């Protein structure tokens, strides 16, 4: 794929949807492209990867056992072309919160934490747009939690027999 098509794929993710495509091209051009063989772990729960990954091609699976990389772990979700994983690691250099294994051969764009900060330093609008996207996601999550709380508040107590 070209820088232009990789940029468009990145721009389709909610995190980067409102970022200027020209500024995203700088990020994409500078990012590292990796090939990950089928069955290989992209990253393991709790590891300090210091990067986010845009899936360019192939399929990965999020494993059910937190921190487990063995074959007994059941996939609970699939990640395919256009998925962005490890965003907390890219933005804040935090450990990843899931284990992801390549289901098929996987091509990814690795955007390191240092690269992300350097590009945000050059183009502060990128950081601003990413933070706005995170704030929207947080507000949605909080609203979901409020609705769950309201259901619990309305629920009848269990009878004590």
Q: Mind listing the pLDDT tens digit for each residue in 13-30?
A: 999 999 999 999 999 999
Least confident of 11-25, 116-130, 140-154: 140-154
Structural domain contains residue 160: no
Contact predicate 18/129, CB 8 Å: yes
d(CA 89, CA 29): 20
- pLDDT reading at 68 higher than 90: no
- pLDDT reading at 58 higher than 70: yes
Total tally of structural domains belonging to the chain: 1
Q: Provide the mean pLDDT of the chain.
A: 90
Structural domain contains residue 158: no
What's the average model confidence in pLDDT over 30-45? 96
Residue (of 4, 18, 10, 12) closest to 135 by Cα position? 18
Which residue did the predictor score with more confidence, 92 or 70? Answer: 92
Structural domain contains residue 127: yes
What's the average model confidence in pLDDT over 100-119? 96
Q: In CATH, what number is assigned to the domain containing residue 136?
A: 2.60.120.10
Can you give the pLDDT at residue 160? Answer: 61
Quickly state the pLDDT bin for 138 (edges 50, 70, 90): confident
* Neighbour tally for 78: CB within 10 Å: 12
- pLDDT reading at 67 higher than 60: no
What's the average model confidence in pLDDT over 54-60? 97
Can you give the pLDDT at residue 74? Answer: 85
Structural domain harbouring 14: 3-153
Which DSSP string corresponds to 33-99? EEEE-TT-EEE-TT----EEEEEEES-EEEESSTT--STTPPEEEEE-TT-EE-HHHHHH-PPPSS-
Question: 72 is written with which tokens?
Answer: 């007994």
d(CA 83, CA 50): 17
Q: For helices 113-122 and 124-154, what crossing angle results, to 10°?
A: 120
Structural domain contains residue 70: yes
Can you give the pLDDT at residue 33? Answer: 96
Q: What is the pTM of this model?
A: 0.82
SS3 string, 132-161, reads HHHHHHHHHHHHHHHHHHHHHHHCCCCCCC
d(CA 103, CA 62): 10
Looking at the chain, the whole-number percentage of residues with pLDDT higher than 90 is 70
Structural domain contains residue 33: yes
Can you give the pLDDT at residue 156? Answer: 83
């Amino acid at each position: 794929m070209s820088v232009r098509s990789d940029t468009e794929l990145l721009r389709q993710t909610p995190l980067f949807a409102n970022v200027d495509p020209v500024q995203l091209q700088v990020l994409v051009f500078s990012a590292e492209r990796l090939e990950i063989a089928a069955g290989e772990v992209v990253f393991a729960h709790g590891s300090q990867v210091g990067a986010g990954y845009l899936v360019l091609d192939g399929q990965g699976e999020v494993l059910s056992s937190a921190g487990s990389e063995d074959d007994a772990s059941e996939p609970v979700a699939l990640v395919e072309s256009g998925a962005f994983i490890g965003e907390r690691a890219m933005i804040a250099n935090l450990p990843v919160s899931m284990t992801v294994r390549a289901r098929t051969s996987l091509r990814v764009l690795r955007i390191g934490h240092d690269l992300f900060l350097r590009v945000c330093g050059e183009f502060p609008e990128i950081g601003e747009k990413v933070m706005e996207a995170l704030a929207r996601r947080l507000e949605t999550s909080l609203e979901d939690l409020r609705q769950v709380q309201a259901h619990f508040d309305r629920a009848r107590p269990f009878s004590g027999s």
